Amino acid sequence: MKGIILAGGSGTRLYPATIPVNKHLLNIYDKPMIYYPLSVLLLAGCREILIISTPKDISRFEELFGDGSKIGIKFYYSSQKQAKGIAEALIIGEDFINRESVWLILGDNFFFGHGLHQLLKEALIYHNGEGATVFAYPVSDPHRYGVIEFEENGKVLSLEEKPLNPKSDYAVTGLYLYDNKASELAKTLKPSSRGELEITDLNKLYLQRGLLKVKKFGRGYTWIDAGTFDSLHQASDFVRIIEKRQSFKIACIEEIVYRLGYITKEQLLQTIAPLKNSGYGKYIMKIIEDID
């Protein structure tokens, strides 16, 4: 399974912090922001992952992750020269996708919940290689988001971007699952008034064809768009509380690939050797001891 992380943009909502560094490399508590969407793709079964960022920042992600062999996956890298919209990621990644289904996640989106792994597996079965699947989350202020209206059986009725009078309380999150037509359809989009290829417009094309599906995040799940200072700190506080109280780490990618069987104990020990004196490295050592 393939996945794309869109980690571009200028991060203006986080200025001046993002003037010297890409926002997706800022920390959410104890690890870089991009670890969190990456963990979602790993749980979704992706072993080939394309990271799209700005020309000046892509080398930083290459330095962070390398080719992925240390954690049993394969990373690819591409640049988005200008911020031309989320849907452009599917055009940039066309050769990478190679007419397969693909997960797309925004690099500043944080997801957490017991059973997330199972929910993603169910979504993949429900998707069944056809159409587009979006993930809906209940919010108190839906007018700030793309809003999806759907029936109890999951049939999508409408999709609106930041409506004045929302037809539901469900926002479309920054996680998407597309079939092998996504790149071709994205090419047919016209730029919006912002000069971007809007992901909502792409999803509407699938809706018009009766091929837009929805998977609902219910009670017990947390979704945070960490693109502002307030939401970044909310996500950090959330992770800190969970990790302190329950003694496990959220989005520890080495733990995830080890538990999924992508790497051996020996490979994991070699990977974390430079981290052995950090709290992160000590946590992984404890994971190895507990599993053994």
Tens-place pLDDT, residues 240-274: 999 999 989 999 999 999 999 999 999 999 999 99
DSSP H stretches of helix in 107-155? 116-127
**According to the model, what pLDDT value does residue 82 have?**
87
The alpha carbon dihedral of 185, 128, 69, 271 has a sign of positive
Note the pLDDT tens digit of each residue in 198-220.
999 999 999 999 999 999 998 89
HSE of 224 in the Cβ direction (CA atoms, 13 Å)?
A: 21
- CATH class in words for 2-251: alpha beta
The segments of the chain whose pLDDT lies below 50 read: none
> Which pTM does this prediction carry?
0.96
Report yes or no: 15 and 69 within 8 Å, Cβ to Cβ: no
Domain ranges of the chain: 2-251, 264-292
The alpha carbon dihedral of 174, 156, 116, 112 has a sign of positive
